[in-house]
Amino acid sequence: MIRLTALSNPRAAQAFIDYMASRNIAIQMMPEGEGQFALWLADSQYQIEAEAELAAFLQNPGDEKYQAASWNMAESRTAKFFYPRQGLLTSLKQNAGPFTLSIMVVCIVVYAGLTLGFGNDVFSLLHFPATDEQQWQLWRLFSHALLHFSATHIVFNLLWWWVLGGKIEKHSGSAKLMQLFLLTALFSGLGQYAFEGPAFGGMSGVVYALLGYLWLMGALAPERGLSIEPAYVGFMLLWLAVGFFEPFGMAIANMAHLFGLVSGCALGVIDAKLRKAR
């Protein structure tokens, strides 16, 4: 299934669902918390049509054709809402694509290596290039994002990666998420290295980049259906500011966060403007 968007008004969302059902295109509504209800397209072959109809609906949700569809579908609809019950693995797969899940698995394997007696070897292989010899080992420009040094570190980063990366991959495809991962891992790593040196690691720079990307896409091109809730943006920006004070003696890659956020915002502006130009 493909996530189209999230709405705060379930009655309006149901009107759109009924209208699409009248066109023989199945869409399901699922709660996401914080008063949001996600619309999921059941069959990917109708994605272009569904996104076009959704854009028209968002511009004029009070159009009579949506109300008429609700009346026409009322007799055949057996329930107003459908909330399928699903397990953890099903939820993980449903809300993320193969690249999102693959990076999560690799991070977990790397973390296991760090904690099971191979810490020096794993870190030496994956950290940001620090010597003249390592500067030609190009994988290091990206592999530093796979390193995590505590359970809290990896859980926090992978949770956000799953939420933000999964949303982007489901909407825009694996190639787009891979592009964002590589570019923002590079820029966030360069920023952290320039100010603090090569002793760092973690997905947080990429996570902040995805946050910035979704934030700017939602602000500049809302018709694309890619956005993030303002509460999430506020929380992450607050944590970005707090990180510079290194609370509880935590070692935080603050420049990676900052450069990641800036690079993600820049990519969001580019994608939003290019799409509008086309």
Where are the alpha helices (H) located in the chain, listed in sequence order? Answer: 10-22, 47-59, 64-73, 88-94, 98-115, 119-126, 140-143, 151-160, 166-172, 174-196, 204-220, 230-243, 254-277
Percent with pLDDT over 70 in the chain: 90
pLDDT band at 79 (very low <50, low <70, confident <90, very high): very low
Q: Reply yes or no on whether the pLDDT at 86 is more than 60.
A: no
Compute the distance between CA of residue 207 and CA of residue 184 in angstroms, rounded to an integer. 9
Active site residue 257: yes
- What average pLDDT does range 184-206 have in this prediction? 94
- The residue annotated as part of the active site, out of 144, 148, 171, 257, is 257
Q: Please provide the average confidence, as pLDDT, over all residues in the chain.
A: 87
**How confident is the model over 250-277, as pLDDT tens digits?**
778 899 999 999 999 999 999 998 765 5
Q: Which of 70, 143, 188, 204 is catalytic?
A: 204
**Under 8 Å between Cβ of 49 and 41:** no
- CA-wise closest residue to 167 among 228, 82, 91: 228
Q: Provide the whole-model pTM.
A: 0.68
Each residue's pLDDT tens digit, 225-246 = 888 999 989 999 999 999 888 7
Domains located in the chain, CATH noted: 2-84 (3.30.70.2350), 89-277 (1.20.1540.10)
The answer to whether 240 and 258 are in contact (CB under 8 A) is: yes
212 C-beta neighbours (distance < 10 Å), count: 25
User: What was the pLDDT predicted at 189?
Assistant: 95
How confident is the model over 103-128, as pLDDT tens digits? 999 999 999 999 998 989 999 999 99
